[in-house]
Amino acid sequence: MIKQPEQPPFPPPAAPRATERVRSWRWLVPVLLVLLFLAVLIWLPWQARQMEATERQEQLIADTLWVEQTLRFELARSEEALTNLGADLVNRPPSPTALQARFKQMFNNGHELVRVVWYGPDGKVRASHGLEPSTLLPAPTRLAADVAAATRRARYSEPYGATPTSPGLLDFYLPLYADGQPAGSLVATYSLQVLLDETVPWWFAQDNALSLLDREDRTVARRAAGGPGRGVYTHRRELDLPGALVVLSTDSVKRAPQLLPNLLVGSVIVLALGLVLSLGALWRHISRTLAAEAALRQQMAFRTAMENSLITGLRARDLEGRVTYVNRAFCEIVGLPQEELVGKKPPMAYWAPEVMAEYEERFRGVLAGNITPQFETVFQRPDGVRVPVLVFEAPLVDANGRQSGWMSSVQDITDRKRAEELNRQQQEKLEASARLATMGEISSMLAHELNQPLAAISSYTAGALNVLERSTQAGEPVNPGMLRHALDQARQQAQRAGQIIRSVHEFVKKREPRRELVTIRSVIDGVHALVELQARQANVVLRIEQAPQLPPVLADRVLLEQVLLNLTRNAIEAMQDTRLEMRVLRIAAAQADGQVTVSVIDRGHGIAPEVAAGLFSPFYSTKAEGMGMGLSICRTAIEFHGGTLSHAPNPGGGTIFTFALPAQAAGGALG
């Protein structure tokens, strides 16, 4: 038996090739991974570019659809308004004024409208608004009118009138029917350029060039705020307009996305740098925020201390009238703590009952956005004490420039009111003193003037007694005529003396100012006797000139009489050195510019310029024994009535003093 040789312990010669194949795969895997990584690096930017391009195109399509719907909605809204107007024109035609008002409203609601024309059944223009209507409709509009007449439906014309320098127009033809019979038509003309400008948002026009194209792809309107499109992202969309083919074309100004080299590495580096910068910016922002908060706390403390040190009350209200802030001074003025004021709405606890209607009226004005910048009113404290206050109000504006409420500053004017009352009492005393001084100056003339009627009374009564005695001695009957004449003359002289005494009594007695409707005629009549007495003593001729039918004035009669008496006395004294034939005192009353004017005109020595500067100042006088209060009191009295007192040189020599008072309507002018 032959023995078989044993198998060698090593693999066959093919084993080294398998090992090489394993080693080659070990090198190949990293290479494949690197290649895969490189492929991913290349594929990611390309994919991102494709996704960005697709997203941009889809966004452009969506935006174009939105713009198309917006344009169609705007035209549909105008169609509805024209349809309603056409129905009204057929059923109940409005007046020309109302029709023009509706046209104007339609133009205000749609700026793309440039013309609206109403044609009658005879084809003649009945009314129009906007551009001047042409006598002959454009060819596209006539074609639309024929189709509309055949179908009895409104139609749009094809765009027309477009030139390289002028955008196109579009007509909307609406036939009108009454009881099934043609009743005319309405033709509205739209500017396609204005339609684009008014409807397309600015942000969309910045990124896209928009065009409206007609049936032959000619541009009839264009808007390209961001420049011409690049032809990369485009879309076309037809507007659904009956009878017209108008295409909305959009062309984006954006370029195609660019591939970014080393996207991942660059992204990591950018992200790392961005993180570091963000941390630095965050730290800086936190530091600045803490510093700002500290400064704000300091400013708040300073403002609080400043507001608490004010004697002027501060109050803030929102647009609904709710109190949002008060300072300490305001709380002291109204006598209420802050917690009972903040957050409250009118009526407020510090409103006084007697002026509640005034508060409510002013609050309604605040809600309406109208305020009184400055006014006086009265607040009431819980203990019933009334506090007169002066209020200043101004709008409260926030950081964005919008009004958020009203800010008021309130001043307690109790002391000022007391001072005004004291000043008024002093003024009354001065006026009374001036009247007494005036009467002291004319007392001697008054005695002489009263002596005349008294002497006449004595003479007439003595004559009557003599007539009675002679008749008794002669045994003859008494002549009634002689006695009646003597007694009548005595009566007239007694009335004259009584009038003089009453005028003096009314002039000098102390009384409160009382405003009422008085006439200038009655004021002049009230001092006529005293003025005539002074004039006669100085050999001055008195002339009174009054315009007929002068309206009344709202005034205190005695104060006006005192003013007129002071002015006439000064005028008479100014003519002491004037020649006798020129001593004429004129009192003229007239009406001008809604005022009643009274002028006292003398022909005296006039007023020197250096004297005129201080003429109305208190205690200023050119007389040796004068008080210097006459003209000052006169001006105060006239200004108390809302009037003015002025002086001017008399062209004929002398001075003209004029005071003017507001005329009042009293159911007709009084004498």
Q: Considering the chain, what percentage of its residues have pLDDT values greater than 90?
A: 11
Q: What is the CA radius of gyration of the chain?
A: 50
Q: How far apart are CA 222 and CA 197, in angstroms?
A: 9
Of 6-20, 23-37, 186-200, 235-249, the range with the lowest mean pLDDT is 6-20
Per-residue confidence (pLDDT) for residue 4, from 0 to 100: 44
Could you tell me the pLDDT band of residue 455, with boundaries at 50, 70 and 90? low
Please name every residue paired with 155 in a beta bridge, in sequence order, or none if there are none: 173
Q: How far apart are CA 396 and CA 371, in angstroms?
A: 12
Residues 84 and 215 in one domain: yes
Per-residue confidence (pLDDT) for residue 1, from 0 to 100: 41
Per-residue confidence (pLDDT) for residue 629, from 0 to 100: 44
294 lies in some domain: yes
Instruction: Please determine, for residue 478, whether its predicted confidence score (pLDDT) is greater than 80.
Output: no
557 lies in some domain: yes
545, 585 contact by CB (below 8 A):
no
Q: How far apart are CA 372 and CA 109, in angstroms?
A: 35
Residues 543 and 457 in one domain: no
Residues 174 and 105 in one domain: yes
Q: How far apart are CA 497 and CA 455, in angstroms?
A: 11
Of 291-305, 379-393, 466-480, 573-587, the range with the lowest mean pLDDT is 466-480
Q: How far apart are CA 215 and CA 542, in angstroms?
A: 97
Which residue's structure tokens are 């009453």? 502
Residues 234 and 289 in one domain: no
Q: pLDDT averaged over the chain?
A: 78
Structure tokens at 635: 């001006």
Average the pLDDT over 567-576 and give the result. Answer: 88
Greatest pairwise CA separation for the chain in angstroms: 227
Q: How far apart are CA 363 and CA 371, in angstroms?
A: 9
Instruction: Please determine, for residue 24, whether its predicted confidence score (pLDDT) is greater than 60.
Output: no
Q: How many residues are there in the chain?
A: 671
Residues 401 and 484 in one domain: no
Structure tokens at 230: 């690049």
Helix (H, G, I), strand (E, B) or coil at 185: strand
Q: DSSP assignment, residue 641?
A: T
Domain endpoint, select from 512, 533, 559: 512
| Torsion sign, CA atoms 28, 34, 40, 46 | negative
52 lies in some domain: no
Per-residue confidence (pLDDT) for residue 34, from 0 to 100: 57
Closest CA to 629 of 671, 569, 566: 566
Could you tell me the pLDDT band of residue 501, with boundaries at 50, 70 and 90? low
Average the pLDDT over 203-227 and give the result. Answer: 86
Instruction: Please determine, for residue 271, whether its predicted confidence score (pLDDT) is greater than 80.
Output: no
Of 30-34, 125-129, 168-172, the range with the lowest mean pLDDT is 30-34
Residues 248 and 115 in one domain: yes
Domain endpoint, select from 466, 484, 512: 512
Per-residue confidence (pLDDT) for residue 259, from 0 to 100: 54
Instruction: Please determine, for residue 119, whether its predicted confidence score (pLDDT) is greater than 50.
Output: yes
541 lies in some domain: yes
Per-residue confidence (pLDDT) for residue 664, from 0 to 100: 86
Q: How far apart are CA 570 and CA 341, in angstroms?
A: 59
Average the pLDDT over 584-609 and give the result. Answer: 90
Per-residue H/E/C for 323-341: EEEECHHHHHHHCCCHHHC
Which residue's structure tokens are 């509009």? 141
User: Residue 89: which CATH number?
Assistant: 3.30.450.20
Domain count, the chain: 5
Instruction: Please determine, for residue 505, whether its predicted confidence score (pLDDT) is greater than 80.
Output: no
Q: How far apart are CA 559 and CA 506, in angstroms?
A: 11
Domain boundaries, position 362: 310-412
What burial letters (b/e) apply to 618-637, b meaning 16+ CB within 10 Å?
eeebeeeeebebbbbbbbbb
CA atoms within 13 A on the CB side of 196: 28
Q: How far apart are CA 247 and CA 643, in angstroms?
A: 74
Residues 534 and 621 in one domain: yes
Residues 419 and 494 in one domain: yes
Instruction: Please determine, for residue 519, whether its predicted confidence score (pLDDT) is greater than 70.
Output: yes
Residues 288 and 362 in one domain: no
Any residues with CB less than 8 A from the CB of 418 and at least 6 apart, and which? none
396, 404 contact by CB (below 8 A):
yes
29 lies in some domain: no
Per-residue confidence (pLDDT) for residue 566, from 0 to 100: 84
Residue type, 330: F
Per-residue confidence (pLDDT) for residue 8, from 0 to 100: 43
621, 627 contact by CB (below 8 A):
yes
Could you give the angle at the alpha carbon of 137 between the alpha carbons of 132 and 143, nearest 5°? 150
Residues 217 and 140 in one domain: yes
167 lies in some domain: yes
Residue with the bigger pLDDT between 493 and 205: it is 205
Give this prediction's pTM.
0.37
Residues 287 and 393 in one domain: no
Q: Is the peptide bond before 347 cis (omega within 30 degrees of 0)?
A: yes
Digit-coded pLDDT (tens) for 128-180: 898 888 778 888 888 988 898 888 899 999 999 888 888 889 999 999 998 88
Domain endpoint, select from 483, 512, 541: 512
Q: How far apart are CA 76 and CA 74, in angstroms?
A: 5
Residues 247 and 282 in one domain: no
662 lies in some domain: yes
Q: How far apart are CA 531 and CA 534, in angstroms?
A: 5
Q: How far apart are CA 241 and CA 214, in angstroms?
A: 12
Could you tell me the pLDDT band of residue 3, with boundaries at 50, 70 and 90? very low
User: Residue 548: which CATH number?
Assistant: 3.30.565.10
Instruction: Please determine, for residue 586, whether its predicted confidence score (pLDDT) is greater than 90.
Output: yes
The DSSP secondary structure of 443-456, one letter per residue, reads HHHHHHHHHHHHHH
Instruction: Please determine, for residue 498, whether its predicted confidence score (pLDDT) is greater than 50.
Output: yes
Q: How far apart are CA 284 and CA 289, in angstroms?
A: 8
Element (H, E) at 419: helix 414-441
5 lies in some domain: no
Could you tell me the pLDDT band of residue 451, with boundaries at 50, 70 and 90? low
Instruction: Please determine, for residue 2, whether its predicted confidence score (pLDDT) is greater than 60.
Output: no
Instruction: Please determine, for residue 488, whether its predicted confidence score (pLDDT) is greater than 80.
Output: no
